[in-house]
């Protein structure tokens, strides 16, 4: 969970890794340009933080990003032939559910509710101001957009939190 994010694409759930790195003054311009290329292709615009978004290199979908540092050689390999649409290497592919969107949403909510933030390195700034309720709401907003049947996403989110607390 700490190294991978999850992305919904075409009703499939993919485990993907997104990359980002701060530009340091001592880094050569060539390296910085390659890093920026990776960031732009992946649709990332922030640094050292976990991002929740509905648009990105994969197109429409929910995704969050785990930030990792890369060497120049790793960036070269990412920008080479072995890339996906984001310009970042796909580390692993996991389909949670391909046909039943409700089950996929429930699986996603369960997954996020068990996400342990207590042992993350604060220096990375991960999960700042992002709590379980916020992640649940993001998941429910996906359902709103796809199925057009949930009228109040926040109420649904609160209900999800209530159900999880009863488990």
Rounded CA separation 155/39 (Å)? 35
- The single residue listed with the structure tokens 């992640």 is 135
Q: What are phi and psi of 6, to 5 degrees?
A: -120, 140
* Domain limits, the chain: 5-166
**pLDDT single digits (tens) 94-129:** 232 233 344 444 444 444 444 444 443 333 333 333
- Tell me how many degrees the CA angle 131-135-141 measures, rounded to the nearest 5: 145
The predicted model scores a pTM of: 0.20
**pLDDT single digits (tens) 17-54:** 333 334 445 555 665 565 555 445 444 433 322 333 33
């Amino acid at each position: 969970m700490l190294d991978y994010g999850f992305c919904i694409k075409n009703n499939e759930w993919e485990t993907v890794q997104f990359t980002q790195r701060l530009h340091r003054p001592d880094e050569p311009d060539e390296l910085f340009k390659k890093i920026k290329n990776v960031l732009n292709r992946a649709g990332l615009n922030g640094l050292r933080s976990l991002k929740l978004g509905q648009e990105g290199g994969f197109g429409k979908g929910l995704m969050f990003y785990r930030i990792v540092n890369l060497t120049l050689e790793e960036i070269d390999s990412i920008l080479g032939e072995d890339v996906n649409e984001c310009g970042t290497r796909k580390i692993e592919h996991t389909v949670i559910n391909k046909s039943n969107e409700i089950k996929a949403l429930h699986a996603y909510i369960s997954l996020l509710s068990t996400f342990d933030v207590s042992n993350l390195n604060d220096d990375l700034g991960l999960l700042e101001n992002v709590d379980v309720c916020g992640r649940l709401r993001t998941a429910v907003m996906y359902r709103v957009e796809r199925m057009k049947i949930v009228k109040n996403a926040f109420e649904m989110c609160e209900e999800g939190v209530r159900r999880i607390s009863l488990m």
